[in-house]
Amino acid sequence: MTESIKFLLDENKLPRAWYNINADMPVPPAPVLHPATKEPVTPDFLSVLFPMSLIMQEVSTERWIEIPEPVREVYKLWRPTPLFRARRLEKALDTPAHIYYKYEGVSPVGSHKPNTAVAQAFYNKEAGTQALTTETGAGQWGSALAMACRFFDLDLEVYMVKVSYHQKPYRRIVMQTYGAQVFASPTDRTEYGRSVLAQDPDSPGSLGIAISEAVEAAATSGGKKKYSLGSVLNHVLTHQTVIGLEALEQMEMAGEYPDVIIGCVGGGSNFAGFAYPFLHQNLTNGKQTRIIAVEPSSCPTLTRGKYAFDYGDTAEMAPIVKMHTLGHTFVPPAIHAGGLRYHGMAPTVSALVAEGYIEARAVGQLDTFAGAVQFARAEGIIPAPESSHAVRVAIDEALRCKETGERKVIVFNLSGHGHFDMAAYEAYFRNELADYEYPAEEIAAAMAHLPSVEM
């Protein structure tokens, strides 16, 4: 038995193609509907927002999509990322389980998000786009896209959720360092932002509102600006599969195969990017790995939401898709895992949960931070609050193994580090954090606003 801690791939092992789950989906995709007509959308409608190459990836059923060489060249700045065996955590938990984690926090901005940001910037530059617009919640996505736009010489406008803009000023400065323009959303720059401010001048903002502003800015630019989304869409999930494809090879180096795969879910991109290459093995190669998606109990999209057609954004400008949703008008509590506060979910993740191919679990904020601190004290890395949801469930699974004596192989994605989230850790140490109750009444109210769709 090797005593290795890190499993490292050479640069020449960086994957040459992304994996597209559409090729192996056990259920046919639901149509994507126009927000106004509620008829299936045409590529023309989407081409206002996205370059045609990304629209084609969105609907592609090719299993492998070649990673363009300029994208691989940028990936090489930090990829392949390490896979660690968490031997010190195993010892601290006194578990017979083997725990591994894939660490995406080694990217320059500290999360998995550049994996798609770099690809999207590349395809937009190739298509002649002058500037991108986007929203950001906690600021990780904006930082990733700001870096990617700089590498490919594109301008960037970021609509940042106001509560995060104030809670996390350093991320704004990161974006500005790369040359992006950052606005606290709701802003007075868009019609939709002005309408929100008119109703509630103190609105803390939400990801849904910020998406609507960024979409409006692109849609009214006469083709100069395109919109870029950091999660949820299929092309985003596909770009992220570079994580799981590397992890498959690294597990082979370790001489083990996962019994359990775990990732946290906001819109589903780091989870899918990590888990889908393993799910591919379940679907086509007889493997039986359990795959668990973890979300916060304050924004319980998969575990308490409805699997239904809903708008992707609050203003009802984005397409209607079939997904687990808490209602597009739902504004989740301002928990510190800002990246997990989206009302919806990637449609393929939802479909696979609905059909039982993926398990979903919700965990509370206090248990999550307790797990994060335990992980940091054992392994050294301070996890992002989002990633800590995966850490929590990995620890829970390992503790269950301790009870049963099973020696399971547990592998989770550590999607980012928490260096810009120390205020959240401070609040936890001061006992200032609460477990938000599942806001049943607010979600029920939001459910009344789901679009009625005849399908």
Residue ranges in contact with ligand PLP by CB under 6 A: 111, 113, 140-141, 231, 264-271, 339-340, 384, 386-387, 415-416
Q: 265 or 315: whose CB is closer to ligand PLP?
A: 265
**Smallest distance, Å, CB 449 to ligand PLP?**
23
Q: 113 or 392: whose CB is closer to ligand PLP?
A: 113
**Smallest distance, Å, CB 266 to ligand PLP?**
3
User: CA 398, CA 88: separation in Å to the nearest integer?
Assistant: 13
Give the HSE-up count for residue 4: Cα atoms under 13 Å, Cβ half-sphere: 16
Comparing every residue's Cβ against ligand PLP, the nearest one is 416
440, β-bridge pairs: none
Identify residue 428 by its one-letter amino acid code: Y
**Smallest distance, Å, CB 240 to ligand PLP?**
7
Which uninterrupted H or E stretch holds 207? helix 207-219
**Smallest distance, Å, CB 269 to ligand PLP?**
3
**Smallest distance, Å, CB 92 to ligand PLP?**
23
Reading phi first (left if > 0) and then psi (alpha if -120 to 50, else beta), residue 101 is in beta
Beta carbons within 8 Å of 384's beta carbon, 6+ residues apart: 105, 110, 111, 140, 337, 339, 415, 416, 417, 418, 421
Q: 372 or 401: whose CB is closer to ligand PLP?
A: 372
CA proximity to 29, closest of 234, 228, 230, 232: 234
Q: 237 or 317: whose CB is closer to ligand PLP?
A: 237
Q: 401 or 424: whose CB is closer to ligand PLP?
A: 424
**Smallest distance, Å, CB 199 to ligand PLP?**
28
The token pair at 84 is 């660690």
Q: 209 or 236: whose CB is closer to ligand PLP?
A: 236
User: CA 9, CA 166: separation in Å to the nearest integer?
Assistant: 39
The token pair at 6 is 């890190």
**Smallest distance, Å, CB 231 to ligand PLP?**
3
Q: 210 or 264: whose CB is closer to ligand PLP?
A: 264
Quick check: 446 and 304 in contact, CB under 8 A?
A: no
